[in-house]
Amino acid sequence: MFVERDIAELMRQIARQDVLEIGSNATVKFVRGASLAHIAESYGFEYDETFRLGRNKEFVLVRMYRDPSPEARAREAAAITAHPRAGNGGTVPGMRQGTLKPLPEAGQAVAVMKDRIRFDIAGAAVEKRQQMTAYACCAFAAVFMAVLGKPVLALVVGVTLTAFLFGAFRFGAVRRSRIAQRLRDAGYHQVRDERGAERFLAPGRQLPGHANPFAS
């Protein structure tokens, strides 16, 4: 039921908008967002970026743009012809009917899309500003304990939290590095955008522009 609702909402966006926003709770496996993004690609959209949103960053938003290239328009026409009831209980490109589980022929493409989403999400965890903020919170907690007259507890809290954060950031960096290698192996190239963030682009693609990042 939820899958059909998600697909129907995606198809409504595809029919009406040049910019898609595919959102989900961050606790949901990334395969759902990757599957929906793969469907959108079949209708001539191109992946842009993934963000975390919400007060506690509990939501994930995948943003995609309509690609005006002839190749993308041909993909869209083929998808419309092959799946005339998509969004109304019919089949959709690359998925088992009624599910967001990839068919064997779409498995690799969905896996790559999942890696692109994970790479963008993991980027926030390795940003220096976020790391400094987290370490500053550790220092504040230790100072607060010291002010309360508990210097030993302050030392334990400060050291424990700092060690935990260091390990978590290191683990995140290693995992992101492995994702990056898989994307390079798949033919994607790594660039930095205007904010200095690392991005992976499909072969032959450039960084997004203004109104439509995939327009020529």
Average pLDDT of 91-111? 93
Which residues, in sequence order, are CB contacts of 124 under 8 Å at separation 6+?
52, 57, 130
pLDDT at 211 over 50: no
pLDDT at 25 over 90: no
Predicted confidence band of residue 183 (pLDDT cuts 50, 70, 90): very high
Task: Say what the pLDDT of residue 210 is.
Answer: 42
**CA-based torsion, 125, 131, 137, 138: positive or negative:** positive
- When the pLDDT of each residue in the chain is averaged and rounded to a whole number, the result is 80
For 113-167, how does the pLDDT look when each residue is reduced to its tens digit (9 = 90+)? 999 998 988 765 555 556 666 656 666 666 666 666 777 666 666 667 676 666 6
Q: Whats the size of the chain, residue-wise?
A: 216
